[in-house]
DNA sequence: ATGCCCGAGAACCTCGGA
């Protein structure tokens, strides 16, 4: 099966890109972030015509996450457990595997944080701490777990186009990388890095300046697999092709494939 | 250079993104 994560930076603007990508790549699960729309505007019918069920939680202007699936999800949760938050950044559900087992899929849009001395960074840390707690529970209850999303953290300098320029900055700071390592220490593995030990590929490029043209990117969109799912992983990649389209999202899909 | 570009929403500018 194929699982992908894509921050679309407005689903209203990108709905054709997403539809085309679904038709070409036929993922079993496509997790979206930054819908930037209320639930009433979600283009459920567009995806239904392509054979996809939709689970989503949106809001006006900002944030918003969705899971498109070729089989309906059950036990959908749209709030990060034990965290009061109007920002729509978390959605999870159970996906039925062919074997009869269940996969718990969790899709997150981690707060950006803006700068290490910002109030928004306080929020990022608090949000992430709750995610870590939630994932410990999720993993203890579901051996087959995959956590995907826009983490707004580069796991290491390999994931940064210019580590010197970004050193200590938001998305690349030691404190954020320790947060991510602590989360992963509960039993989650960077699936892309498992298959690409020293590959330097990015999933986001700034719209500004040379941006994509100069490959000035970061790898911040991740597919994290539980141990049981990593054992069944067969490939992981980043598909740059949507970033080359006209009026693209600044992110492009991160993908993992599993033998189940 | 707290800049560059983009999207949303409300007005032709501000906020947030990363």
Catalytic residue among A52, A109, A192, A212: A109
Q: Per-domain residue ranges for chain A?
A: 2-258
Verify whether residue A39 is a known catalytic residue.
no
Selection from A235, A252, A257 nearest residue A201 by Cα: A252
Provide the pLDDT confidence category of residue A199 given band limits of 50, 70 and 90.
confident
Please give, chain by chain, protein residues whose CB is below 7 Å from any atom of strand B. A 7, 9-10, 12-13, 34, 36-37, 60-62, 111-112, 114, 120, 150, 152, 170-171, 204, 206-209, 218, 220, 247, 250-251
pLDDT, one tens digit per residue, over A141-190 is 999 999 999 999 999 999 999 999 999 999 999 999 999 999 999 999 99
What's the CA gap between A109 and A45, in Å, rounded? 24
Kindly state the tokens that stand for A212: 């994509």
- Mean pLDDT of all residues belonging to chain A: 97
For residue A71, the tally of other CB atoms under 10 A from its CB is 14
Q: Is the pLDDT of residue A210 over 90?
A: no
- Distance, CA of A248 to C1' of B5, in Å: 12
Do residues A113 and A152 lie in contact, with contact meaning Cβ atoms separated by under 8 Å?
A: yes
pLDDT value of residue A8:
98
Do residues A179 and A125 lie in contact, with contact meaning Cβ atoms separated by under 8 Å?
A: yes
Region A23-31: mean pLDDT is 98
Provide CATH code, domain A2-258. Answer: 3.60.10.10
pLDDT value of residue A143:
98
Taking CA A87 as the corner, what is the angle to CA A116 and CA A67, rounded to the nearest 5 degrees? 110
Verify whether residue A117 is a known catalytic residue.
no
Provide the pLDDT confidence category of residue A235 given band limits of 50, 70 and 90.
very high
Kindly state the tokens that stand for A139: 């993993």
Sequence-ordered list of residues with C-beta below 8 angstroms from that of A232, at least 6 positions apart, any chain: A258, A259, A260
**If residue A205 lies in a helix (H) or strand (E), which one and from where to where?**
strand A204-205
Give the nucleotide nearest to A249 (CA→C1'). Answer: B6
Region A134-142: mean pLDDT is 98
Catalytic residue among A56, A90, A150, A159: A150
Q: Residue written as tokens 């996450």? A: A65
Give the nucleotide nearest to A13 (CA→C1'). Answer: B7
Do residues A96 and A79 lie in contact, with contact meaning Cβ atoms separated by under 8 Å?
A: no
- Phi and psi, residue A49, nearest 5°: -65, -25
pLDDT, one tens digit per residue, over A37-73 is 999 999 999 999 999 999 999 999 999 999 999 999 9
Kindly state the tokens that stand for A195: 């298959």
Q: Give CA torsion, residues A206, A148, A165, A10, to 10 deg.
A: 20
Q: Is the pLDDT of residue A10 over 90?
A: yes
List chain B nucleotides near protein: any atom < 7 Å from a Cβ. 3-9, 16-18
- Distance, CA of A75 to C1' of B11, in Å: 43
pLDDT value of residue A9:
97
Protein residue with the closest CA to the C1' atom of nucleotide B18: A112
pLDDT value of residue A209:
86
């Amino acid at each position: 099966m194929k699982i992908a994560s894509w921050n679309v930076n407005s689903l209203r603007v990108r709905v054709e890109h997403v539809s085309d990508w679904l038709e070409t790549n036929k993922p079993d699960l496509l997790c979206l972030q930054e819908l930037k729309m209320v639930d009433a505007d979600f283009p459920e019918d567009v995806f239904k015509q392509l054979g996809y069920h939709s689970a989503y939680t949106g809001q006006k202007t900002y944030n918003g996450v969705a899971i498109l699936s070729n089989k309906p999800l059950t036990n959908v949760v749209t709030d990060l457990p034990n965290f009061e938050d109007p920002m729509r950044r978390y959605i999870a559900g159970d996906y039925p595997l062919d074997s009869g087992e269940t996969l718990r899929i969790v899709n997150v849009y981690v707060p950006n944080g803006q700068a290490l001395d910002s109030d928004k960074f306080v929020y990022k840390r608090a949000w992430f701490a709750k995610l870590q707690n939630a994932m410990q529970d999720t993993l203890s209850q579901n051996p087959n777990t995959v956590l995907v999303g826009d983490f707004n953290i580069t796991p290491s300098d390999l994931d940064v186009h210019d580590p010197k320029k970004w050193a200590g900055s938001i998305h690349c700071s030691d404190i954020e990388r320790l947060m991510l390592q602590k989360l992963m220490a509960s039993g989650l593995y960077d699936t892309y890095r498992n298959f690409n030990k020293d590959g330097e590929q990015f999933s986001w490029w700034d719209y500004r300046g040379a941006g994509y043209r100069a490959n000035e990117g970061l790898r911040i969109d991740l597919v994290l697999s539980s141990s049981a799912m990593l054992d069944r992983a067969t490939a992981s990649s980043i598909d740059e092709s949507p970033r080359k389209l006209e009026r693209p999202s600044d992110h492009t899909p991160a993908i993992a494939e599993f033998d189940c």
